[in-house]
Structure 1
Amino acid sequence: MNEYPAPATLAIADIEGFARRNDLEQRQARDALYTWLSGALGALWGRCVHEDRGDAVLMLWPADVPRPVIVAAVLRLAEAAPAAPPRLRVVLHAGDVYRDPRGFVGGDVNEAFRLNEAPVLKAALKRARGPVAYLVSEQVHRGIVRYGDPAVDPEAFRPVGVAVKETRVRAWLYVPGDDGDAARLAADAFRPPSGPSPDTPPGMPPGPVPGGVRIQGRNVTVTDSEIAGRDLR
Structure 2
Amino acid sequence: MVSSTEPCSPAQYSLIAVLDIEGFGRRTDPDQAWLRERLRVVVARALDAAHIDELSSEDRGDAVVLLIPGTVPKTDLLGGFVRALVAGLRDHARDHTGDRAMRLRVAVHAGEVARHGEGWVGTDLNTAFRMADMEPLRRALAGAPDAVLSLAVSHVLHQGVLRHHHPGLEAHEFAPVVLSGKEIKDETVWIRVPGHPAPATSSSSAGPTPPQKPPAPEPAPANYGISATHVTVTGVGVNHGTVTQSWTGPVATGSDATAADLHHELARLRGELKEALRREEIDDVTFEASEEELDTAERHARAEDEEGRGRLLRALTKLKALMADTAALAGLVATVTQLIQQVRGQA
- Measure, in 1, the Cα distance between the counterparts of 2:82 and 2:8: 31
Q: Which residue of 1 aligns with 2:162?
A: 145
CA-atom RMSD, angstroms?
2.9
Is this contact kept in 2: 1:97–1:108, CA < 8 A?
Answer: yes
- The 3-state SS of whatever aligns with 1:140 is helix
- The 3-state SS of whatever aligns with 2:14 is strand
Is 1:55 aligned to residue 80 of structure 2?
A: no
Higher relative contact order (CA 8 A, sep 6+): 1
Is this contact kept in 2: 1:37–1:45, CA < 8 A?
Answer: no
* Cα offset, 1:47, TM superposition: 1.5
**Whose strand proportion is higher, 1 or 2?**
1
**Whose helix proportion is higher, 1 or 2?**
2
* Cα offset, 1:100, TM superposition: 2.5
TM-score normalised by length of structure 2: 0.52
- Measure, in 2, the Cα distance between the counterparts of 1:212 and 1:178: 24
* Cα offset, 1:3, TM superposition: 6.1
Counterparts of 1:84-123 in structure 2 under 5 Å?
84=93, 86-123=102-139
- Measure, in 2, the Cα distance between the counterparts of 1:30 and 1:120: 24
* Cα offset, 1:39, TM superposition: 1.0
* Cα offset, 1:138, TM superposition: 0.4
Among 9, 15, 18, the residue aligned to 2:15: 9
> What stretches of structure 1 of length at least 5 have no aligned partner?
190-202, 215-233
Is 1:158 aligned to residue 164 of structure 2?
A: no
Among 34, 40, 51, the residue aligned to 2:46: 40
Give the aligned length: 201
TM-score normalised by length of structure 1: 0.76
Among 175, 179, 182, the residue aligned to 2:207: 182
- Measure, in 1, the Cα distance between the counterparts of 2:147 and 2:176: 20
* Cα offset, 1:103, TM superposition: 1.5
Counterparts of 1:68-83 in structure 2 under 5 Å?
68-76=75-83, 77-81=85-89, 82-83=91-92
Counterparts of 1:193-204 in structure 2 under 5 Å?
none
Q: CA, structure 1 residues 45+29, in 2 after alignment: closer, same or farther (shift >3 Å)? A: farther
Q: CA, structure 1 residues 164+73, in 2 after alignment: closer, same or farther (shift >3 Å)? A: farther
Q: Which residue of 2 aligns with 1:230?
A: none
Is this contact kept in 2: 1:94–1:108, CA < 8 A?
Answer: yes
The 4+ residue runs of structure 1 with deviation greater than 3 A are 1-4, 43-46, 203-214
Q: CA, structure 1 residues 4+182, in 2 after alignment: closer, same or farther (shift >3 Å)? A: same
Instruction: Give the share of equivalent positions with the same residue, in percent.
Output: 34
Is this contact kept in 2: 1:118–1:163, CA < 8 A?
Answer: no
Per-residue CA deviations over 1:126-178 (Å, capped at 9, x if unaligned) read 12221100111101111111122112121110000112322121100100122
- The 3-state SS of whatever aligns with 1:64 is coil
- Measure, in 2, the Cα distance between the counterparts of 1:37 and 1:204: 31
Is this contact kept in 1: 2:137–2:152, CA < 8 A?
Answer: yes
Is 1:167 aligned to residue 167 of structure 2?
A: no
- Measure, in 1, the Cα distance between the counterparts of 2:137 and 2:241: 24
- Measure, in 2, the Cα distance between the counterparts of 1:137 and 1:63: 15
> What stretches of structure 2 of length at least 5 have no aligned partner?
1-6, 94-100, 200-205, 211-221, 244-347
